[in-house]
């Protein structure tokens, strides 16, 4: 079980990481502008599923694999970078058409699954998220006292913090999506998000894996 001291030490760090405008938060912001609160919040199922998979892998020893195998980490880093660049290109091309939010009921069910799938893929291919589970969370674990249980509890704390942070970004995106002239804003956000995704992807590809840990 986590102690209050562990919790109070971990919460600020995990909260800052969760609130940072990384790929998933930018994706949630963009989704909320286009599809509203419910669709973008439901899409978080994909992100939480990816995080649950990461947490499970870390509990069974993935952190040791990453520390010992630079090849594994490099493969994850390259795939994540390429996927972010692909998402950025899709955003720049405006592949997701904008519908006014008062017509949200017209959004087809398959679109929701696409949003969930995209949240999952962005999260699972993001080395930053993987490092949170494999390198950051273990820093708050008491050695020799049910480490796996502590990791699970810390992982759940981080996932709750991620949901809260994502809700903040979703509410901001929804607020902007409801403003007059939201259609014009969508185009600007698409271009900005696309550029950011491409920039983040290139940064990941350029990172030296020995420096990223």
Residue 24 lies inside a defined structural domain of this protein: yes
The lowest-confidence range among 92-101, 174-183, 188-197 is: 92-101
HSE-CB for 185 with a 13 A CA cutoff: 18
At 69 the pLDDT is: 56
- Calpha distance 81→169 (Å, rounded): 22
| CA dihedral sign of residues 122, 126, 128, 129 | positive
Mean pLDDT of 109-134: 81
- Calpha distance 189→206 (Å, rounded): 25
Residue 205 lies inside a defined structural domain of this protein: yes
Residue 196 lies inside a defined structural domain of this protein: yes
Residue 198 lies inside a defined structural domain of this protein: yes
Residue 60 lies inside a defined structural domain of this protein: yes
What domain count does the chain have? 1
Mean pLDDT of 105-127: 75
- Calpha distance 38→107 (Å, rounded): 12
Residue 56 lies inside a defined structural domain of this protein: yes
The pLDDT of residue 180 is above 60: no
Gyration radius (Cα) of the chain, Å: 18
Residue 172 lies inside a defined structural domain of this protein: yes
8 Å CB contact between 36 and 104: yes
The pLDDT of residue 105 is above 50: no
Q: Give the model confidence (pLDDT) of 38-91 as tens digits.
A: 999 999 999 999 999 988 888 777 555 555 556 665 676 677 677 778 777 876
At 103 the pLDDT is: 43
125 or 39, which is more confident?
39
Residue 194 lies inside a defined structural domain of this protein: yes
Q: What is the pTM of this model?
A: 0.72
Q: What b-and-e string marks burial along 114-124, b requiring 16 or more CB atoms within 10 Å of the CB? A: ebbebbbbbbb
- Supply the range of the domain harboring residue 34: 19-212
At 26 the pLDDT is: 86
């Amino acid at each position: 079980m986590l102690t209050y001291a562990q919790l109070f030490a971990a919460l600020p760090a995990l909260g800052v990481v969760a609130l940072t405008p990384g790929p998933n938060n930018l994706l949630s912001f963009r989704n909320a502008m286009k599809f509203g609160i419910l669709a973008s919040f439901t899409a978080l199922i994909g992100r939480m599923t990816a995080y649950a998979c990461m947490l499970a892998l870390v509990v069974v020893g993935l952190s040791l694999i990453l520390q010992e195998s630079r090849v594994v980490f490099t493969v994850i880093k390259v795939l994540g970078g390429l996927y972010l660049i692909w998402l950025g290109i899709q955003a720049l091309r405006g592949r997701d058409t904008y519908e006014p939010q008062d017509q949200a009921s017209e959004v087809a069910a398959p679109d929701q699954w696409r949003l969930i799938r995209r949240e999952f893929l962005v999260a699972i291919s993001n080395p930053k998220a993987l490092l949170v589970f494999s390198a950051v969370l273990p820093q708050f674990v008491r050695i020799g006292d049910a480490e796996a249980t502590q990791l699970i509890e810390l992982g759940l704390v981080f996932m709750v913090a991620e949901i809260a942070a994502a809700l903040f970004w979703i509410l901001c995106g929804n607020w902007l999506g409801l403003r007059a002239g939201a259609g014009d804003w969508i185009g600007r956000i698409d271009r900005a998000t696309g550029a950011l995704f491409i920039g983040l992807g290139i940064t990941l590809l350029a990172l030296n894996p020995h420096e990223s840990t």
